[in-house]
Amino acid sequence: MWSGFLFSVPLRNDKTSTMSIKKLGIFLIAALATCSIQAQQVQLIPEPSSLQIGKGYFILPNQISIQIPSAFESIGNEMSARFKTVTGKNVILSNQKNATIRFEQIQDPTLGKEGYQLTVNEKGIQVKAQTYAGALYAWQSILQLCPPAIYSKQVQQKITWRLPFVQITDTPRFEWRGFMMDVSRHFFTVAEVKKMMDEMAMYKLNRLHFHLTDDQGWRIEIKALPKLTQVGAWRPNRIGKWHNITKPASEEPKTYGGFYTQEEIKDLVTYAKTKNIEIMPEIDVPGHSMAFLAAYPFLSTTPNYPYQVNAGDDFIDWSGLNGHITARIDNNLDPSKKEVYDYLDIIFGELATLFPFEYMHMGGDETAKNNWAKSDDIKALMQRENLKTQDEVQSYFVRRVEKIMQSKGKKLMGWDEILEGGLAPEAAVMSWRGVKGGAEAAKQKHPVVMSPSTHNYLDYYQGEATAEGAVYAGLRMKKTYSFEPVPDGVEEKYILGNQGNLWSEQLQNIRSLEYMAWPRLMAIAEVAWSPKKNKDWERFSKKVESHFAILDTLQIKYAKSIYDPIVTTTLNTKGELYAHMEGEVNGLDFYYTIDESMPDSYSHHFNGPILIPEDVTILRIMSYQNGKPVGKLLNIPIAALKQRAVKVL
């Protein structure tokens, strides 16, 4: 049988039977070794719902035939082009029943909207799916079963094109498997957005949360309000540390920016459909609206302020007042003004014609309300609507926006701050400040997407802070993978799924974005797709390492931060400083120096706490795996080591 081994052993007490048993033992060892090798070659991300690994391989013949129903035709064309390009073999689309690769569209409710069955055996490759999405994801799994060279751009002559025998039945745990791309802080071209969608589809991610507006730029054409892009899409160019930016003079040329025309948005939506991706647009209001107000300042509580699109200089006091952030420049829309809702009606009306997805995101986060509190118009609104707090003012605003979206046939989603002051009747919540807001919304029977900064913020540095540049916080992939989207006491049916968010304050280009996204986005994908019982960090981390070859082949930039040691320090009662190292993945050796020299495998090998003498200025570390250097050279200054020290009493 392809799925395992069956043996019948005669029990006879003679030399012949003894020899047979010995031979059988040798055969068993060889067979188990073969199975072990095959298991190592099945490195699917995300982990399938059900996976059986058989004994043997299917080798692609010199002429590959693909039988595929018309509903999946574009997938067949893509497969044909890929196999021709990389294997150099003849590939034909055929209706023959004994085709090398056979797709069948079936009616099987257990597969749902995105599930599939995939069998690889001596007869070839067979796929069964109900939908285009299921067929697409089967194709992605087929690609991952092939050697990594399958992703090449030219013929690979020396590759044996074989796939291990497998039997897979696969359906996603959650319908929402998302990635948020912030194109406001830094603009990314249509081609770059498509590239990210290609990469998302490889790992069965199906929601692109498109953060289109913020203080630093308005990125979508609204035909009835042309100043939003004429003014709001452009700012003076700045390169440097975020919030360490010199505030531009008002007359400084505004040369950095860009926006998507409505035709480009239609093109992106059409392309996304081929990848089974829904695009959810976000217009971030009432806060984060500096670019909006640069175009139409009269929509704020300070209409005479000389607004311009923010270039990265800091204008928010994050320590705040009485637990609330405060803004030195009012970057909020004014909820008391009728014109605000008139403009939002226009904006969401045009968006509704461009994005077919059922949800639109209104932001609603980090609204500094100190300027609202000083506004006579806001005070009059509060009296008129019986609003007691500024949180209730924001809730009033959210409810008005929800009605606008509903009038366009859409549902509202917002960050978890929209809970403050009372949740709008049918709003969905995206929980980013941990899971508390999401749990609260779910208990109120509202749909929730989990995207907590504690586990899913991909703009956080992912390895050694001194090597990557500290931002708001650090986030190791192991912690991202450990996330469970359904909090205790919450019904799973209200949790739509899991999403990774990548804010672009610290990014300048698509290569930087990819570096921060990968491989942590693989962890987001597996948490969202795979059954909870199938999660295993050691197995997953090994799979990720094997997928580095895929990313290399595709020339995708990614981080190898999983090889960075986790370096902590302690101070003993004598005030002596000790350094400790821990691996995020198994099988690493750390070699270090404290004498300014560059470390290699002949340097000190870490096997216990290191005393850092007073005169040392830098700790240098290199990670090794299987005798070879991996990762990056770490140069940790003594000041950084002292800063992270904890006292041991």
Q: Which residues are catalytic?
A: 214, 288, 366
Q: Which residue has the tokens 């226009």?
A: 346
Q: Map 252-281 to HEC letters.
A: CCCCEECCECHHHHHHHHHHHHHCCCEEEE
Contacts of 532 (CB under 8 A, 6+ apart): 173, 484
Token readout for 334 is 């004014």
Question: Distance from CA of residue 188 to its chain's centroid?
Answer: 16
Give CA torsion, residues 9, 14, 19, 24, to 10 deg: 10
Whole-number Å distance between alpha carbons of 181 and 502? 6
Whole-number Å distance between alpha carbons of 190 and 243? 27
Token readout for 617 is 């200025």
SS3 category, 461: strand
Token readout for 195 is 């590239």
240 CB neighbour count, 10 Å cutoff:
9
Let me know: does 68 contact 81? Beta carbons within 8 Å.
no
The residues pairing with 67 across neighbouring beta strands, listed in sequence order, are: 102
Give me the count of residues in the chain. Answer: 649
Edge-to-edge strands, sheet with 63-67: 50-59, 162-170, 116-121, 124-129, 101-105, 63-67, 90-93
464 CB neighbour count, 10 Å cutoff:
21
Whole-number Å distance between alpha carbons of 611 and 433? 38
Token readout for 349 is 């009306």
Q: What is the DSSP letter of 220?
A: B
Q: What is the DSSP letter of 249?
A: P
Token readout for 236 is 């003076």
Whole-number Å distance between alpha carbons of 301 and 375? 6
